[in-house]
Amino acid sequence: MIELLRSNDPVLMSFAASVLKDAGINHNLIDGHMSVIDGSIAALQQRILVPEDQRDEAGRLLTEAGVELTS
């Protein structure tokens, strides 16, 4: 798995995960509950990981949807 997107914006991450899910792209949204550990100040970012062989397609889909990728 390779990191595709990193953000502390839960709306953006939910949208990106939805785009990937609708397209049938395997992905993992990780670190979503880390805000509990950091006191809910959103200092720790969530990440979306995708398989390396789906990275290009996933990146294209998110870019077309208006999401600026971090990696």
Which stretches of the chain score pLDDT less than 50?
Answer: none
SS3 48: strand
Q: What is the per-residue pLDDT across 20-35, written as a single tens digit (0 to 9) for each?
A: 999 999 999 998 777 5
Percent of the chain with pLDDT over 90: 66
Q: Position of tokens 């971090």?
A: 70
**Rounded to whole angstroms, how far apart are CA atoms 63 and 36?**
30
Distances (CA, A) of 50 to 8, 42, 57: 18, 23, 10
Reading the block at residue 48, the tokens are 């979306």
Whole-model pTM: value is 0.84
Q: List the domain boundaries for the chain.
A: 2-64
- Check residue 39 and give its pLDDT: 59
CATH superfamily of 2-64: UreE, C-terminal domain (3.30.70.790)
